[in-house]
Amino acid sequence: MLYQTYQTLRYRTQHKVMKYVAMALPFPVPDLLQGPGSVRKLAGRIQADGLRHVLVVTDRVLMDLKLPQGFLKSLDKSGVEYTVFSDVQPNPTIENVEDGVRAYRDNKCDGIVAFGGGSPMDCAKVIGARISNWLLPVRWMKGNFKVLLPIPRIYAVPTTAGTGSETTVAAVITDAQTHEKFAINDLKLIPKVAVLDPELMVGLPPHITSTTGMDALTHAVEAYIGLNGTAFTDENAEKATRLIFENLEIAYKNGKDMTARNNMALASYYAGTAFTRAYIGYVHAIAHNLGGLYGVPHGLANAVILPHVLEFCRKEAEHKLAGLAVAGGIGKHWEPEEALAGRFIEKIKSMNKNMDIPPGIKELKEADIPLIAARALNEAHPDYPVPRIMTLEECEDLVARLLVPGNGKA
Ligand SMILES: NC(=O)c1ccc[n+]([C@@H]2O[C@H](COP(=O)([O-])OP(=O)(O)OC[C@H]3O[C@@H](n4cnc5c(N)ncnc54)[C@H](O)[C@@H]3O)[C@@H](O)[C@H]2O)c1
Ligand SMILES: [Fe+2]
């Protein structure tokens, strides 16, 4: 008990320090190209920046769908050479990064275009980090501010509305040897330009639309209920929540609804703006480990875990959850906070249900729960400024609730 009090004090002190450090940090803001068709302006911008040969980092699915085709043609027209590197897998690995580094060097590139979801964007960021910090192994850069030298220019073109990686300090990489997923956080990883073009998202299948959208919501919620939010991050999280509540289910049902897609692209960007300054929480800590161990898609894991973590910290976060319910348009400020917070959690559950997101993780094995819980807390403590500190036992209990009956036995 005494030890627990000491730990809580130690974490809370660290959170305070981090809050003031984050407030003082000069977060660069990417130049935005925004709205339907905005990707068509990117080649001109790259040419104007004086680049001669860019590495386009994407994935095979997107190449098969020919999604980058129009952009590649516009590079041709602008006289900018390019090499396509499409060997990025979902939950990108250290090997993916090293292959990309080779492609960059072999072709004497001088900048990077990250074209895809969070996986290509994160892989592109770490390729850039390795190019200019060639003595630093990927694993060594895990954690905060370990990217020592500035990286080549990154132009980010998100094709999912979820991670917000186009504006964040983070890149999440998996060590395929240990099945561990870890984040590299550094201001130098923030892209120089972000293109928010909803036309690139119309073909996103419904189940990826829903789960990536719930990732964005998780960013907004974790940034908002954590202890390190500021007026600026709160405002961004509120805007994101409102847009997601109003548009995600529409985009899920009708992917061609350009207004909904545009609003989701903005929501993802706002949520990224919030969490990169105010940090994340236990939902992400557990989701990263389900991703590392079983390859569970990041957004799916977050969507399933989110209501459980909110139930866990409901009392401590009640005031903030109530505020987010009002900002999200599902309640009035004069209603009792307890009712508003409860409604907020119910809203998330109903969104999951309406979008066919399952209540559990089918890959999860009972025997792995102690490892997942230990790794999740190791990730979250002492960095994540969560409203309620979780013990190992509580984390194991929470992860056990994600088991799918009959399918979770080792
Ligand atoms: N850097 C950050 O700040 C940050 C934040 C959250 C998550 N992440 C990381 O991002 C990764 C997840 O990214 P994601 O959720 O965007 O998924 P993803 O990039 O892995 O893409 C998921 C699937 O969707 C496909 N896809 C992407 N865009 C498409 C489109 N427009 N049309 C059709 N198919 C499309 C991809 O080919 C892929 O098969 C995880 O590794 C996660 O840890 C990073
Ligand atoms: Fe996320």
Give the pLDDT confidence score for residue 68 in this predicted structure: 98
Same domain, 187 and 210: no
Distances (CA, A) of 225 to 5, 234, 298, 310, 314: 21, 9, 20, 9, 10
342 CA to centre of ligand 1 in angstroms: 30
Are 299 and 209 in contact by the 8 Å Cβ rule? The answer is: no
Q: Which residue, by CA, sits nearest to atom 2 of ligand 1?
A: 165
pLDDT at 232 over 70: yes
**Candidate from 298, 306, 384 with most ligand 1 atoms within 8 A of CB, to mutate:** 298
How many domains are contained in the chain? 2
Average pLDDT taken over every residue of the chain: 96
117 ligand 1 Cβ < 6 A: yes
In a domain, residue 289? The reply is: yes
How many residues belong to the chain? 410
* CATH value at residue 115: 3.40.50.1970
pLDDT on residue 5: 87
pLDDT score for 395: 98
Query: Minimal CA–CA distance to 260: which of 42, 36, 30?
Result: 36
| Residue that is last in its domain, among 145, 180, 201 | 201
* Model confidence band, residue 407 (pLDDT cutoffs 50, 70, 90): low
Distance 120 CA to ligand 1 centre (A): 7
Mean pLDDT value across residues 335-342: 98
Q: Which residue has the higher pLDDT, 171 or 18?
A: 171
Ligand 2 center–CA 106 separation, angstroms: 32
What tens digit of pLDDT does each residue of 88-107 get?
A: 999 999 999 999 999 999 99
Contact 235, 184 (CB under 8 A): no
* Range 235-241 average pLDDT: 98
Task: Kindly state the percentage of the chain with pLDDT values over 70.
Answer: 99
Q: What pLDDT band is residue 410 in, cutting at 50, 70 and 90?
A: very low
Same domain, residue pair 391 and 353? yes
**Cβ proximity of 51 and 81 under 8 Å:** no
Local confidence band at 2 (pLDDT 50, 70, 90 cut-offs): confident
CA of 186 to the centre of ligand 2 (A): 16
pLDDT in tens, 25-70: 989 999 999 999 999 999 999 999 999 999 999 999 999 999 999 9
If we measure between CA atoms, which residue out of 297, 280, 302, 304 comes closest to residue 170? 280
The amino acid at 95? E
In a domain, 186, yes or no: yes
- Cα distance between residue 150 and residue 154, in whole Å: 11
Q: So what's the pLDDT on residue 3? A: 82
**CB distance 385 to ligand 1 below 6 Å:** no
Which of 16 and 269 is assigned the larger pLDDT? 269
The domain boundary residue, chosen from 154, 171, 201: 201
Q: What is the pLDDT of residue 250?
A: 98
d(CA 132, CA 143): 18
pLDDT digits (tens, 9 = 90+) for 250-268: 999 999 999 999 999 999 9
Tell me, in angstroms, the distance from the centre of ligand 2 to residue 297's CA. Answer: 10
Cα(298) to ligand 2 centroid in Å equals: 7
According to the model, what pLDDT value does residue 405 have? 78
Look up the CATH number of the domain holding residue 383: 1.20.1090.10
408 part of a folded domain = no
* One domain, residues 150 and 179: yes
> pLDDT by residue (tens digit) across 181-224?
999 999 999 999 999 999 999 999 999 999 999 999 999 999 99
Q: Is residue 169 part of a domain?
A: yes
Ligand nearest to the CA of 281: 2
Residue 381 pLDDT > 80: yes
Q: Quote the pTM value.
A: 0.96
Q: Does residue 409 register a pLDDT over 60? A: no
Does residue 163 share a domain with residue 273? Answer: no
Domain with 61, as residue range(s), is 35-201
For residues 211 and 196, state if they share a domain: no
Nearest CA to ligand 1 atom 9: 118
* Ligand nearest to C-alpha 288: 1
Question: Would the CB of 122 count as within 6 Å of ligand 1?
Answer: yes
Q: Whose CA is nearest to atom 42 of ligand 1?
A: 298
